[in-house]
């Protein structure tokens, strides 16, 4: 079924921190940040809220509150109003904020079906295209190319709901960091309506990266690899947002799949029993909900996608390093702080009878290895990533239940639905967060695939869960 719709821009402006409230600031990228330059275009995150409002009320009350609270939020998260640049005298790119820098803010109205967009069923990715803005680079005679870090677009679906769409540069922060900013913005916006919160001080960001130690020459290794892919001070061209699945040429469908808590427990017991039956002992890794659900959806994904039966399948596992490096960073550190490893299984094994068990063992052992020393393999991460993508097929998952994305409240209650649309989804990338729309909670996974792949994924997903 096709849905025709239009999006009308009602207001476009720039939002800055209050004038003179924060100093000019330069933040050199850390090796954690450098890792994202080669691989991550901007992320488009959509927060849908069920809230009835007329256009007049939206423009007279809701939008002014959002703009004011956004400015107050940027007072603390002010580097996000700056730009990513690479000056000739700098060894690495830098985030530079100058008083007066701002973030693009757009208010719009859509006549599309709010209920359709917020469903779990397959929807055309292009249907989300009007709900976020692009981060368009600027050119300066003194600083060269400047990349903005954040853009916001708030769309009203009259008498149905509101979508807050954020386009975010992964170079400036990971999911934990951005979630912190959005949570703070929501609390400030709610406080304008008299809802007080004691959590604001707990969310104040730390941008101090002076204690991050590079014990293995990670920065040098990453800079060398960046030269291989032509990302240098002289050629500072980064992946763009023009290739997201919302581009009509991709013909992707976006769908959400829920695994509730009882199903997760059944899945864990099933995997554990198969491991014990085969090995006559408990697994050497921790069999968590994350391990078994990622193993399960990975197998469903590979079964749904075409490919050589003898191919090597790779699954990227990321780990937050904030509290795992020495010295540890505060949990409110704003920036990237992820490392990753790869689970690898032959496709013909992955799609076989014990595919989920083999996937769980591989993922579990990778997590175990990463946590033993989160930076030990960091110098090779970029090279390994591209080599695996070239010689096999790479999938992975982003997001984490502990981010509690469905707790982000702007004064209209919790989100009805969250969609994360990224160019990574074009390569079999999964997004994961806690599920709030089901009585039994659990996890939800979002994915973007072609129609016949979505059909196959749905069949394998539902068929296996029904057999537990």
Q: What is the CATH number of the domain that holds 42?
A: 3.30.559.10
| 183 and 109 both lie in a single domain | yes
| 151 and 182 both lie in a single domain | yes
Q: Quick check: helix, strand or coil at residue 110?
A: strand
DSSP summary character for residue 392: S
Contact (CB, 8 A) for 341 and 396:
no
The torsion of the CA quartet 88, 175, 289, 316, rounded to 10 degrees, works out to: -30
Domain membership flag for residue 14: yes
| 350 and 278 both lie in a single domain | yes
Question: Whole-model pTM?
Answer: 0.93
| 262 and 225 both lie in a single domain | no
Report the candidate in 116, 185, 131, 133 with the shortest Cα–Cα distance to residue 163: 131
Domain membership flag for residue 271: yes
Query: At 78, phi and psi to the nearest 5?
Result: -60, -30
Report the candidate in 78, 134, 135 with the shortest Cα–Cα distance to residue 334: 78
Q: How far apart are CA 24 and CA 58, in angstroms?
A: 34
Strands in 94-97's sheet, in edge-to-edge order, are: 25-28, 94-97, 83-85, 144-148, 138-140
DSSP summary character for residue 17: S
Q: Which of 187, 208, 239 is the last residue of a domain?
A: 239
**Burial class of residue 25 (count of CB atoms within 10 Å of its CB; 0-12, 13-18, 19+):** middle
Distances (CA, A) of 355 to 62, 192, 227, 317, 364: 50, 52, 38, 18, 14
Q: pLDDT tens digits for the chain (468 residues)? A: 455 678 999 999 999 999 899 999 999 999 999 999 887 678 899 999 999 999 999 999 999 999 999 999 999 999 999 999 999 999 999 999 999 999 999 999 999 999 999 999 999 988 998 999 989 898 887 778 999 999 999 999 999 999 999 999 999 999 999 999 999 999 999 998 766 666 788 899 999 999 999 999 999 999 999 999 889 998 888 866 444 555 554 578 999 999 999 999 999 999 999 999 988 788 889 999 999 999 999 999 999 987 767 788 999 999 999 999 999 999 999 999 999 999 999 999 999 999 999 999 999 999 999 999 999 999 999 999 888 888 778 898 888 877 888 889 999 999 999 998 864 455 567 888 887 655 568 899 999 889 999 999 999 999 999 999
| 316 and 385 both lie in a single domain | yes
| 230 and 255 both lie in a single domain | no
| 138 and 178 both lie in a single domain | yes
Distances (CA, A) of 222 to 30, 87, 216, 231: 10, 18, 11, 11
Q: How many folded domains does the chain comprise? A: 2
Range of the domain at 31: 7-239
Domain membership flag for residue 245: no
Give me the residues paired with residue 421 across strands: 44
């Amino acid at each position: 079924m096709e849905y025709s719709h239009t999006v009308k821009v009602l207001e476009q402006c720039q939002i800055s921190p209050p004038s003179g409230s924060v100093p000019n600031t330069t933040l050199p990228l850390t090796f954690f940040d450098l890792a994202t330059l080669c691989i991550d275009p901007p992320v488009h995150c959509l927060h849908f809220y069920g809230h009835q409002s007329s256009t007049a009320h939206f423009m007279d009350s809701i939008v002014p509150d959002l703009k004011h609270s956004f400015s107050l939020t940027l007072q603390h998260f002010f580097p996000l109003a700056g730009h990513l640049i690479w000056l000739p005298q700098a060894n690495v790119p830098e985030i530079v904020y100058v008083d007066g820098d701002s973030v693009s803010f757009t208010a719009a109205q859509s006549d599309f079906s709010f209920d359709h967009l917020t469903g779990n069923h397959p929807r055309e990715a292009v249907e989300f295209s009007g709900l976020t803005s692009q981060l368009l680079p600027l050119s300066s005679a003194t600083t060269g190319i400047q990349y903005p870090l954040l853009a916001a677009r708030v769309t009203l679906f009259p008498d149905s709901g509101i979508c807050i769409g954020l386009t975010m540069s992964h170079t400036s922060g990971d999911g934990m960091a951005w979630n912190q900013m959005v949570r703070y913005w929501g609390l400030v916006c709610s406080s304008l309506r008299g809802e007080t919160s004691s959590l604001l001080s707990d969310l104040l960001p730390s941008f101090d990266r002076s204690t991050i130690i590079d014990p293995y020459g990670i920065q040098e290794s990453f800079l060398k690899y960046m030269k291989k892919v032509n990302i240098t001070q002289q050629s500072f061209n980064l992946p763009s947002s023009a290739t997201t699945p919302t581009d009509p040429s991709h013909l992707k469908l976006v769908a959400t799949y829920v695994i509730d808590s009882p199903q997760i427990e059944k899945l864990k017991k099933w995997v554990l029993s198969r491991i014990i039956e085969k090995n006559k002992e408990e697994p050497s890794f921790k069999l968590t909900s994350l391990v078994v659900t990622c193993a399960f959806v990975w197998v469903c994904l590979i079964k749904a996608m075409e490919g050589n039966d003898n191919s090597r399948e790779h699954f990227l596992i990321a780990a937050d390093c904030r509290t795992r490096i020495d010295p540890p960073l505060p949990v409110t550190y704003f920036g990237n702080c992820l490392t990753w490893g790869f689970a690898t299984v032959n496709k013909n094994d992955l799609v076989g009878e014990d595919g989920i068990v083999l996937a769980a063992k591989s993922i579990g052992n990778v997590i175990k290895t990463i946590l033993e020393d989160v930076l030990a393999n960091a110098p090779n991460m970029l090279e390994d990533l591209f080599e695996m993508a070239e010689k096999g097929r790479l999938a992975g998952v982003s997001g984490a239940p502990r981010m509690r994305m469905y707790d982000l409240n702007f004064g209209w209650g919790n989100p009805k639905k969250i969609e994360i649309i990224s160019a990574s989804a074009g390569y079999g990338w999964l997004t994961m967060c806690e599920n709030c729309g089901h009585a039994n909670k659990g996890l939800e996974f979002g994915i973007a695939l072609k129609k016949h792949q979505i059909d196959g994924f749905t069949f394998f997903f539902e068929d296996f869960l029904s057999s537990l």
